[in-house]
Structure 1
Amino acid sequence: MARKTTLSVKRIFLVLLGSLFMAISVNGFLIPHKLLSSGVTGISILFNYLLDIPISLMILILNIPIFIVGYKLINREFIIISFIGMISLSIFISLTDNLPIFVDDVLLATIFGGVLSGLGAGIVFTNRGSTGGMDIIAVILRKYFSINIGNTLFIINALIVLISSFFFGIKLALYTMISIYINTIVVDKVQEGLDRKKAILVITNKYDEVTYAIMNQIHRGVTLLEGKGGFTKDSKKIIFCTIAPFQLAKIREIILKNDQNAFITVLDAAEVVGKGFKNKE
């Protein structure tokens, strides 16, 4: 059987879909109310407001040197899929240039523009790509200078908001800041919130009974870790198991039924890859 390529049709399609959502956010919600986006797209919108340069063209111009540097310094596959994302975003922004104004209220435009943009960006990031621009710069800074990506993007976006306030007033700048913040929250939710799992750690003296019950009633595999009591110095078996959130109540019931003195810790987990969960690509 042929090996599945990392640049699959599905992955490219989802990057295109995410780029389309971002373009609709720009032309349908942000631009009609003189709002900005984050990163290179935000800078391109600013040039459009001030100099009437097409946003799609400005995105291409600003990204050319970034991709040249990125191609030499970071993962080629990431650069290729990001190039697809950048080109598609530029094309979709051009194609959706004449969208009608979806909402007249600037606050609603701020909220839904941020949500739709974050949804699109989240889809692109989940497929291990980007739409170029500041994302590539941030990856380079993290790789070679150990500078946090989040801090880099925050500083860049803060500068965009500051410039926006100078040209368009503090009110629209604050709306832009709200939109960027919502964008960030939605990106995180798309990348992690849609694939949330629960990781269970159980310390029990009846690990055989608990392990057997979990595997036969929940149908999830478990791993036994070696532990040692900090006070008693007694050796302990620690049960580790990853489950879907809806299985939490059931597994808790099973554990306590077999050992009422069991110590249970529940942790949030995301992007769980392996047998029984997401397949490796």
Structure 2
Amino acid sequence: MITLGAVIMAVGLEVFLVPNQVIDGGIVGISIMLSHLSGISLGLFLFVLNLPFIYIGYKQIGKTFAFSTLYGIVILSISTALLHPVPAFTDDILLATLFGGVVLGIGVGMVIRFGGSLDGTEILAILASKKLPFSVGEIIMFANLFILGSAGFVFSFDRAMYSLLAYYVAYKMIDITIKGLDESKSVWIISDNHKELGDAILSRLGRGVTYLHGEGAFSGDDKKVIFCVITRLEEAKLKDIVADHDDSAFLAMADIAEVRGGRFKKKRYSLVMI
């Protein structure tokens, strides 16, 4: 899957973005600009510029992550070199930006999902967040705004704006690829009618529930906490169930990237045209 993800990312770069002078963020964006200015292969810059960050990742994060990242970057570098002679799929700058961002995001998301990385900026951001009062996402965003802004001086400022659009599309596709379209949600419900609520979730949603023991910090009363896992498509129905049985119940939900084990299975839904 890392191999496939790296090849897909190379397609997004060499078939859509690079021929239209649109860049991505991070080391990839720097490599595209340096390749344009020097005429040297993009794949060579991708490999060389990422090596220091792979070494840092090996020392600070772990050898499995470092070797997976090294392997993905080698495949990416080779793939970009092989795809470079392939003509651009489209000369329409907007189509190239949108579809390039989608393809790029799918490739990067696949690699991240299976334990690797294709850009050293992420490694640097993880380590820098430990010493700076910023999150990993904020550090990556600041770095990429500077890199994407630099594209205005290397290419043109309209290309820099298209690059920002491509980066946003790729970011959203990475999120979708990692989490999936039918993402799961964890649910916590605190209610005096926990038994009726639990039975209703079992019968109407077909989802298993677990009763946890809790204690109110203010009142000191014993509480039953209902825990269950649902899909995003079942969220509205669950809220209706809670409102029907106890409109004063405490309800909290959070996104879950992955669910394994137990009896949880994602249901297949179909749309019916009436």
Match of 1:267 among 249, 253, 265: 253
Give the conservation status (yes or no) of the 8 Å contact 1:225–1:239.
no
Alignment correspondent of 2:196: 209
Q: Counterparts of 1:20-31 in structure 2 under 5 Å?
A: 20-31=7-18
Alignment correspondent of 1:60: 47
Q: What's the CA shift string for 1:164-183, capped at 9, x where partnerless?
A: 11122211111111111221
Match of 1:224 among 205, 212, 234: 212
Q: What's the CA shift string for 1:197-244, capped at 9, x where partnerless?
A: 2333333323233334434661413232414285x6644322121112
Alignment correspondent of 2:226: 239
AA in 1 matched with 2:26: G
Alignment correspondent of 1:197: 184
AA in 2 matched with 1:74: I
Give the conservation status (yes or no) of the 8 Å contact 2:57–2:65.
no
Alignment correspondent of 1:112: 99
Give the conservation status (yes or no) of the 8 Å contact 1:220–1:243.
no
Q: Counterparts of 1:1-281 in structure 2 under 5 Å?
A: 14-143=1-130, 147-215=134-202, 218-228=206-216, 234-248=221-235, 251-252=238-239, 255=242, 259-261=245-247, 263=249, 265=251, 267-274=253-260, 275-277=262-264
Q: For the residues of structure 2 that align with 1:81 and 1:269, how far apart are their CA atoms?
A: 27
Give the conservation status (yes or no) of the 8 Å contact 2:182–2:231.
no
Deviates more, 1:132-141 or 1:105-114: 132-141
Give the conservation status (yes or no) of the 8 Å contact 1:198–1:243.
yes
> Which residues of structure 1 form unaligned runs of 5+?
1-13
For residue 107 of structure 1, give the secondary structure of its aligned residue in structure 2.
helix
C-alpha RMSD over aligned residues: 2.6
The percent of aligned pairs where both chains have the same amino acid is 31
For residue 169 of structure 2, give the secondary structure of its aligned residue in structure 1.
helix
Q: For the residues of structure 1 that align with 2:50 and 2:3, how far apart are their CA atoms?
A: 18
Deviates more, 1:123-132 or 1:16-25: 123-132
AA in 2 matched with 1:123: M
Give the conservation status (yes or no) of the 8 Å contact 2:2–2:114.
yes
- TM-score, with normalisation over the residues of structure 2? 0.84
Count residues with an aligned counterpart.
Answer: 263
1:38, distance to aligned residue in structure 2 (A): 1.5
- TM-score, with normalisation over the residues of structure 1? 0.82
Deviates more, 1:77-86 or 1:183-192: 183-192
